[in-house]
A and B are shown apart, each in its own frame.
Chain A
Amino acid sequence: MSSTQSAIEARRIEPPARTAGSAWNKDDWWAVLLGLGLVLAAIALFQYDSSLKWLAVTPARWSTFGQLGADLANNAIRYLAQFAFWAVTFSIITAALGFETRRFLPAFLLLYVASLVIFAIGQWDQANKYNLEPPLVALALGLAVANTTGLPRLFEAGFRVELYIKTGIVLLGATLPLSLMVWAGPIAILQASIVSLATFFVIFYAARWFGLDKRLAATLGVGGAVCGVSAAIAISGAVGGRKGDAPIAITTVVIWAIVMIFALPLVARVLQLPTGVAGAWIGTSEFADAAGIAAAQAYGELAGHVDGIAGTSDQAVWAFSLLKIVGRDVWIGIWAFVLAIVATTRWEVREGGRGTDAGEIWRRFPKFIIGFLAASVLITLSTRGLSLADYNKVAVPTLVNPVKDMRSWAFIFCFLSIGLTTRFRDLAEAGIRPFLAFTAGVVVNVILGFVLSTIVFASYWTNLVR
């Protein structure tokens, strides 16, 4: 019996209490609830001349250990309250997703403490000199632990990459002005569509040329073109792939996504790309949301600290979000729907077989995007009466920045979780042919993404301002 089979058999002994299709066992809706809840709380406090700032504590900038120690000691009660807030909300959510709270809590405590340390390292005034951007430190540390000593499996309940990244993305919506989405959104969709289609067809036909099955070729293709691991699992299910297809595609995507987290910011730094342009390139050419945000945020943090890098940290994350979330992720349902029709009517017509229906588009729609858009609308509406000067003076420090700080926490939890859950030795054997087919798509994707971001549409990505 294969390890895949034995794991499934083991789970069969305990039938789940919930049905698989319920909204309450999907992390997307929980992320929307938590993210929008925080945004609404921030808006309500802002309306009453108060702020979420007290809860959204982060380490201050420091240059000596004495300063850091004093800052942590002064704010100890705020950190405790924040830990309690995250621990309670995420415990409820993970319990609904099927995890035992007694397993989640110790793992989350570890994650929170490690995140605090990483956050503090990033606030050291010499951090940029030594490339200690928190997203990259979190990833590197997590990968080092997972692939050497490792952590007991029972800790895995606390490392929910998708839940943390989706919560962070909903909060990110609150800091992305709606006007910017309307102005640059269509260009983002155009750029992302050009690159997505080119990447898909290159991977698909390269895979077919290497003799791979059409369903695996499609799974690899959309994995490279749209949203990495999420796309691979969605398309494998939509086309009815063989049991081994999704693991092969996931291995390939994970390896390339991890390489790109470090490679794209590094190349952008060497070329001194403005932050908005680099964010757009990362949004077009990175394969997974979590990996891309790590890369975009790491690069954005160089602005103002490294000579020659123009722009702001916001621009890197805004451009990334427009390209990746608005330009690529929203289309996953349509990719799945179309490929499911092709698969069931042309690739594998089985006796008594049943195809798909248009509901597939909604069922697979990444619902957290609704929260991302709603957060942007809510903040825009709640600040619509303010002049730009008042917005910067009043709304930014008391409304926007606290939401941004909570977002930073969610992202650090995510980056550390990526590292801690990526055990290279556990990944499925992908084989050289799928890897080469995917790599052909990577080459086209990276070059095309670079040309469109730095030349064709560069004026949009360098001018992302409120």
Chain B
Amino acid sequence: MNWLARLGAKGRPAGDELARCGACRFFTNDALGLEAAIPGLRSLGSATSSVRSDDGLCALHDQYLGARRCCADFQEREALGADPDRG
């Protein structure tokens, strides 16, 4: 691990890599849905831009955050299509 990666890992607790916002039932990050939900985003930007990465909205905490984040309230999302919360 190089120094940059070590710096990035600071504050990241060891844990299940799969338990992350991107796999959580409270998380939605569909680009077109975000453009509809965030006024002005498509006027001088877009949700399909690299800089947005895979960020999305957490409905539980009302937060906009990266899909690689996580918290103690994580709840695994069910298979794609089976759960209406799937985004």
Contacts and interface: CB of A to CB of B under 8 A. Distances in A.
A353 B13 contact: yes
A263 B24 CA distance: 46
Contacts of A428: 39-40
Interface string B6-38: 011111110100001010000011111110111
Contact of B42 (A156, A232, A345): A156
A237 B66 CA distance: 5
Interface string B59-87: 10011111111111110000011001111
A358 B10 CA distance: 11
Contacts of B87: 8, 11-12, 15-16
Contact of A354 (B50, B54, B68): B68
A271 B17 CA distance: 57
A351 B72 contact: yes
A162 B72 CA distance: 36
B44 A229 contact: yes
B11 A12 contact: no
Contacts of B68: 354, 356-357
A264 B46 CA distance: 24
A349 B72 CA distance: 12
- Classify chain A's interface size: 35 or more
B77 to A, nearest CB: 10
| Chain B interface SS verdict (over half) | loop
A7 to B, nearest CB: 4
A418 B43 contact: yes
Majority secondary structure of chain A interface residues (helix, strand, loop or mixed): helix
B54 A422 contact: no
Nearest to A162: B46
B44 A254 contact: yes
A354 B49 CA distance: 24
Contacts, number: 258
Contacts of B72: 350-353
A7 B36 contact: yes
Contact of A10 (B12, B13, B36, B71): B36
Contacts of A344: 11-12, 69
A110 interface: no
A307 B7 CA distance: 55
B84 A341 contact: no
A332 interface: yes
Contact of A240 (B7, B10, B66): B66
Contact of A237 (B10, B46, B55): B55
B33 A8 contact: yes
A231 interface: yes
Nearest to A348: B63
Contact of B45 (A3, A250, A333, A426): A250
A231 B51 contact: yes
B64 to A, nearest CB: 5
15 contacts: A4-B38, A13-B84, A16-B30, A26-B48, A161-B45, A162-B45, A230-B51, A237-B55, A240-B63, A240-B66, A242-B63, A245-B64, A246-B38, A364-B51, A422-B40
Given A12-B30, A98-B32, 14 more contacts: A12-B84, A15-B87, A27-B46, A229-B41, A230-B44, A230-B49, A233-B47, A234-B51, A242-B63, A243-B64, A254-B43, A341-B10, A344-B69, A351-B72
Return the 7 tightest CB-CB contacts between A and B, nearest first: A11-B33, A237-B55, A352-B72, A229-B45, A345-B11, A162-B46, A240-B65
Interface of A: 3-5, 7-8, 10-13, 15-16, 19-21, 25-29, 97-99, 156, 159-163, 227-234, 236-238, 240-243, 245-247, 250-251, 253-254, 257, 288, 290-291, 332-333, 336-337, 340-341, 344-345, 349-361, 363-368, 418, 421-423, 426-428
